[in-house]
Amino acid sequence: MKDFRLRNYLPVLSQLTFDEISKAPKLVQDTLTVLLDYEPEILEISKEALLLSEEFLKRKIFTSKFRDDALHIAIASLANVDVLVSWNFKHIVHYDKIRQVNAVNIANGLKSIDIYSPREVTNYEE
């Protein structure tokens, strides 16, 4: 696995992230272990996040099959996270989805959230 260094960011993870990564391949689990060395803030799944994720579903930004993707974004949005980082290019790091999510966030008095791939926020060392 390539070593990476964060560029002046404090990682923020959610309990949902831990739940998903516990079922992931070892390489992905190892990446989480590296992130834990940066002493991330751990966010719980709140009632407000569940309600916001339901609004994303109601507006058909996500289907119920991808409820967890909506929940990831809702948790980050409510925590006022600046950047959500994901490898999920189909449902999260996707231009149209980002625009739609931010429209819902703004309508709910939240700020827009930037969504990027890990390559855009890390430095890799070979």
pTM of the model: 0.85
Neighbours of 66 (CB within 10 A): 18
| Predicted local confidence at residue 1, as pLDDT | 44
Q: Could you report how far apart the first and last alpha carbons of the chain are, in Å?
A: 9
- Number of independent structural domains in the chain: 1
SS3 23: coil
Average pLDDT, integer, range 74-103:
93
- Higher-pLDDT residue of 33 and 106 is 106
Are the C-beta atoms of residues 110 and 51 closer than 8 Å to each other? no
Read off the CATH number of the domain in which 107 is found. 3.40.50
Q: Which domain holds residue 105?
A: 3-125
In this prediction, residue 123 carries a pLDDT of: 66
Q: Name which of 6, 12, 3 is nearest 83 in CA terms.
A: 12
- What amino acid occupies position 93? V
Q: What is the pLDDT of residues 26-74, one digit of tens each?
A: 988 888 888 888 888 999 999 999 999 999 999 999 999 999 999 999 9
pLDDT at 92 over 80: yes
By the 8 A CB rule, do 42 and 25 touch?
A: no
At residue 5, the pLDDT reads 57
Relative to beta strand 3-6, strand 114-116 is unpaired
